[in-house]
């Protein structure tokens, strides 16, 4: 299938590793000009150089997206290097694990500071141009916790649910401008973040990481963790031209982990 996005420009937040990197690679493979962003400028430039060596167009950008000023600066650097942003991928580090009963007011504030405010800041920078050009794709990397809150991830569950509500509302507001807004929800994808959660679970329960992973695989109908490339491919499709009638959805890429429809 021709995804129809060759020559478009994508800003992929937090793409120096994990799911963000998988999405950046998948978009680059479709001919998209990709801004690889993160707080590690050397790593961002290294990945961009790898993509360039493979015949793609990419640029590495240092980006501290924790403030509106940082978001604006990163978007400006991307635009200067690659042109107006057509595809915005929202992504970022997950907050610390913890139980709901032990949350503090600071934890609740952190849920919004990490999982809502930076995403809103980026959207505010790129959405006007998308609407003016009457083409745009906004895709947020979420969590299966949006559909079924995950144990011991209370901060993540809270912040990601808030982001989902904001994005669903936004999707209806910009649909007439040919801008789609969607979320892609990973289950157990084999990334460093999931490895950290497995290690934390093993320590908390006094067992081994291998035992935690075995238990996790048993809860997944596919009986395995997903590969980052599989997630990246799903993201590329949601950012594509053929996906123009898909908006306001939260698509799960989880091997059947969440049992509800």
CB atoms within 10 A of CB 53: 9
Burial of 223 (C-beta count, 10 Å sphere; 0-12/13-18/19+): exposed
At residue 260, the pLDDT reads: 87
Residues 222-237: tens digit of each pLDDT: 999 999 999 999 999 9
Residues 169-181: tens digit of each pLDDT: 999 999 999 999 9
pTM > 0.85: yes or no: yes
Q: Which domains does the chain have, with CATH numbers?
A: 9-187+228-253 (3.40.50.720), 190-225 (no CATH)
- The CA distance from 34 to 23, in Å, is 10
- The CA distance from 158 to 77, in Å, is 32
Residues of the chain falling short of pLDDT 70:
none
At residue 96, the pLDDT reads: 83
Q: Are 27 and 10 in contact (CB under 8 A)?
A: yes
At residue 66, the pLDDT reads: 82
Q: Are 13 and 90 in contact (CB under 8 A)?
A: yes
At residue 257, the pLDDT reads: 94
- The CA distance from 52 to 94, in Å, is 29
């Amino acid at each position: 299938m021709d995804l129809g996005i060759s020559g478009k420009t994508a800003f992929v937040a937090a793409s120096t590793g994990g799911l963000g990197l998988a999405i950046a690679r998948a978009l680059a493979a479709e001919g998209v000009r990709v801004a690889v962003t993160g707080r590690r400028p050397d790593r961002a430039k290294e990945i961009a150089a790898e993509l360039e060596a493979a015949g793609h167009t990419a640029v590495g950008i240092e980006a501290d997206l924790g403030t509106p000023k940082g978001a604006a600066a990163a978007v400006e650097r991307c635009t200067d290097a690659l042109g107006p942003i057509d595809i915005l991928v929202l992504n970022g580090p997950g907050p610390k694990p913890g139980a709901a009963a032990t949350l503090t007011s600071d934890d609740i504030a952190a849920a919004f500071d990490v999982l809502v405010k930076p995403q809103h800041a980026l959207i505010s920078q790129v959405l006007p141009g998308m609407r003016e050009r009457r083409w745009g794709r906004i895709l947020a990397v979420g969590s299966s916790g949006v559909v079924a809150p995950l144990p011991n991830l209370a901060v993540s569950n809270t912040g990601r649910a808030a982001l989902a509500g904001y994005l669903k509302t936004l999707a209806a507001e910009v649909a007439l401008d040919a801008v789609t807004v969607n979320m892609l929800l990973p289950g157990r994808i084999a990334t460093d973040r999931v490895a950290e959660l497995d290690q934390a679970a093993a320590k908390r329960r006094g067992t081994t990481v291998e035992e935690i992973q075995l238990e996790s695989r048993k809860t997944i109908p596919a009986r395995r963790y997903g590969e980052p490339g599989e997630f990246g491919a799903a993201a590329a499709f949601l950012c594509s031209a053929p996906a123009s009638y898909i908006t306001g959805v939260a698509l799960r890429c989880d091997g059947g982990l969440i049992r509800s429809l």
